[in-house]
Amino acid sequence: MPAEDLSLTEKLLRRERLVVGGGLALLTVLAWLYILGGAAIGMPALHMISLSLFPHRLGEMAMGDMVMHPGVWSPGYWVIMLLMWWIMMMAMMTPSAAPMILLYARATRHAHASGRLKPGIVSTAAFAGGYLLVWLGFSTAATLLMWLLERSGALSATRMASTGPGLSGALLLAAGLYQFSPLKNVCLNVCRAPAEFLSRHWRPHAAGAVRMGLEHGAFCVGCCWVLMALLFVGGVMNVVWIAILAILVLAEKVAPKGIWVSRVAGTVLIAWGLANFAI
């Protein structure tokens, strides 16, 4: 490798926290801007905000200037919905994944410095790419479920939210119970211990980084997938619900008492779900 290239590499490696942190922050901001701009559905997300403990009781909103007729799932609309879900997951999950990705970047820098890996730019992008691929898989499943719920009438095509207490209550109750499940605890513990994950799953080179990203993404989905399903309760494009869920996920993973955050949230969700059945 030419001396000038190696010098650039070394400079980037020494500043990996700034480079990686800045990249993650930029990705998060761009994803939020995309969602706030309406995610190409033809209506700004700010027009779809609703605040209610029982969202299914809200009436259908006016369609306004929506470009695409809701309920008509053309191939183009499928792509728009898939991108909406995937970019929404980037906006919500990137902040909580940042500690893991930053630690991976640091570990890779030390591996380069000690000669255990060939000199070169850290493969953090490959790790992050693997992580986001898992959320693409989740987004595909969420898009399919959204289509099925719309077809059954359980989900409003305009509000993108539950139309009855059955779905709302079931999802809230399921999310609350899942907060106490063994699988949730296992996945959350992995997400809260990035150093331990790296020590157990470390693999070198870009291919290894992608595999590690896939593995960590699988734990992350295992931790949060039922919480993400709550978007069907309050509205898939309701930015208030999106923000609340993103903050909850972040608190679970990085707060000193994150386990208790999860349990308190579970208790609230169970009570909330039962209330939806009763009202």
For 184-193, write each residue's pLDDT tens digit. Answer: 999 999 999 9
**Mean pLDDT, rounded, for 8-16:** 53
Q: Mean pLDDT lowest for which of 118-122, 228-232, 233-237?
A: 118-122
Which pLDDT belongs to residue 41? 75
Q: How many Å apart are CA 264 and CA 176, to the nearest integer?
A: 9
> What pLDDT band is residue 1 in, cutting at 50, 70 and 90?
very low
Q: Which residue has the higher pLDDT, 183 or 44?
A: 183
Which pLDDT belongs to residue 64? 45
pLDDT per residue as tens digits for the range 133-148: 999 999 999 999 999 9
The answer on pLDDT for 67 being more than 50 is no
The answer on pLDDT for 255 being more than 80 is yes
The answer on pLDDT for 66 being more than 80 is no
Q: Containing domain of residue 126, as a range?
A: 3-278
Q: How many Å apart are CA 228 and CA 134, to the nearest integer?
A: 14
Surface-to-core class of residue 214, CB atoms within 10 Å of its CB (0-12 exposed, 13-18 middle, 19+ buried): middle
The answer on pLDDT for 230 being more than 60 is yes
CA geometry: angle 221, 152, 56, nearest 5 deg: 75
The answer on pLDDT for 203 being more than 70 is yes
Q: What is the helix, strand, coil percentage profile of the chain, to 5? A: 75, 0, 25
Which pLDDT belongs to residue 117? 55
The tokens describing 11, both together, are 């400079």
**Cβ 183 vs Cβ 222: under 8 Å:** yes
String of b and e for 147-179 (b: at least 16 CB within 10 Å)? bebbeeebbbbbbbbbbebebbbbbbbbbbebb
**Mean pLDDT, rounded, for 47-54:** 66
**Mean pLDDT, rounded, for 47-70:** 57
Whole-number percent of the chain with pLDDT over 70: 79
Number of domains in the chain: 1
pTM value is 0.85
Q: How many Å apart are CA 175 and CA 137, to the nearest integer?
A: 20
How high does pLDDT run on average in the chain? 83
> What pLDDT band is residue 107 in, cutting at 50, 70 and 90?
confident
pLDDT per residue as tens digits for the range 233-250: 988 888 888 999 999 999
> What pLDDT band is residue 180 in, cutting at 50, 70 and 90?
very high
**Mean pLDDT, rounded, for 83-111:** 89
The answer on pLDDT for 124 being more than 70 is yes
Q: How many Å apart are CA 67 and CA 58, to the nearest integer?
A: 23
Which pLDDT belongs to residue 234? 86
Residues 6 or more apart whose Cβ sits within 8 Å of residue 110: none
